[in-house]
Homo-oligomer: A and B are copies of this chain.
Amino acid sequence: MTKQDIIHQIFKKKSYLCVGLDTDPLKIPRHLLDCPDPVFEFNKQIIDATRDYCVAYKPNIAFYEAAGRKGWESLQKTLEYIPKDCLTIADAKRGDIGNTSGLYARAFFDKSASGLDFDAVTVAPYMGEDSVQPFLEYPGKWVILLALTSNSGARDFQNSELTEGGRLFEKVLKTSQAWGSEENLMYVVGATQARSLEDIRKIVPGHFLLIPGVGAQGGSLEEVSRYGLNSECGLLVNSSRGIIYASSGEDFADRAREEAAVIQKEMATYLHMTGV
> Within the oligomer, what is the number of copies of this chain?
2
In the complex, per-residue mask of A177-200: 1 if CB is within 8 Å of any chain B CB, else 0: 000000000000000000000000
Give the distance in Å from the alpha carbon of A228 to the alpha carbon of B115 in the complex: 42
- Size class of A's contact patch? 35 or more
Give the distance in Å from the alpha carbon of A141 to the alpha carbon of B31 in the complex: 36
Interface check A98, CB cutoff 8 A: yes
Which B residues are in CB contact (< 8 Å) with A149? 97, 126-127
Closest to A133 in B: B153
Which B residues are in CB contact (< 8 Å) with A160? 160, 162, 164, 168, 171
Q: Which of A72, A146, A153, A168 has the most CB of B within 10 A?
A: A153
Interface check A15, CB cutoff 8 A: no
Contact between A68 and B63, CB atoms less than 8 A apart: no
Interface check A78, CB cutoff 8 A: no
In the complex, per-residue mask of A52-67: 1 if CB is within 8 Å of any chain B CB, else 0: 0000000010110111
29 contacts between A and B (CB under 8 A): A24-B103, A62-B94, A62-B100, A62-B104, A63-B100, A66-B104, A66-B106, A67-B113, A68-B76, A69-B73, A69-B115, A72-B72, A93-B94, A95-B124, A97-B150, A98-B153, A124-B124, A124-B127, A126-B149, A127-B146, A128-B151, A129-B153, A130-B151, A130-B153, A156-B175, A160-B160, A160-B162, A161-B162, A162-B162
